[in-house]
Amino acid sequence: MWAGELRTQDDRLDHPANPVSDEQSRTEVVEAGRQIVGAAGLRTTNAGYQLMSCKNRDEPPYQGAIYLTFALPTGVRAEEYLPKVKTALVAHGWTEGMAADDDRLAKLTRDSVTAILQPDRDDTSMGVLRLYGQCRNVNDHRMDATTWINITGQLG
């Protein structure tokens, strides 16, 4: 490899090889969310989407992110239910990620999207799914309001 070909981690983050549009960032995680909700039969109660900085709070590049809450089956604890969800997702092509420090968490990946499943800390009858897309959106969103957009109806 020539010296001119070397790219640092920061350079790869700042200048992704194939940047994507805002719509592509959104589609990437919304489609993954639909796959998960369908494959695991999650009963979505609320879902929000936003672009998040991969560097700090404001600067590009950005990734699409979803925060979704779902109802657990009546009388079933998250510690019993989430492993079943993880098994269903693995059967549908998701790959289990590195073991989390917290054994209540499940980390999975598919097509460069990361999914994290966990119990809801405030409501034991609920679970949480967080989805993160690739850091390839280099559009400038520094002046945008950082609000979650309700996408519950798009995920079932």
Q: What pLDDT is recorded for position 131?
A: 98
Find all residues with CB under 8 Å of 85, minimum gap 6, and list them.
40, 42, 106, 117, 127
Angle between helices 78-91 and 22-40 (to 10 degrees): 110
Dihedral of alpha carbons 27, 30, 32, 34, sign: negative
Percent of the chain at pLDDT > 70 equals: 85
Phi, psi of 75 (to 5 degrees): 80, 5
Per-residue pLDDT reduced to its tens digit, 40-99: 999 999 999 999 999 887 889 999 999 999 999 999 999 999 999 999 999 999 999 876
Over residues 13-38, the mean pLDDT reads 89
By residue count, the chain amounts to 156
With contact defined as beta carbons under 8 Å apart, do 148 and 49 qualify? yes
Domains of the chain (ranges, CATH numbers): 18-154 (3.30.2030)
Over residues 5-13, the mean pLDDT reads 55
Q: What pLDDT is recorded for position 1?
A: 45
With contact defined as beta carbons under 8 Å apart, do 16 and 25 qualify? no
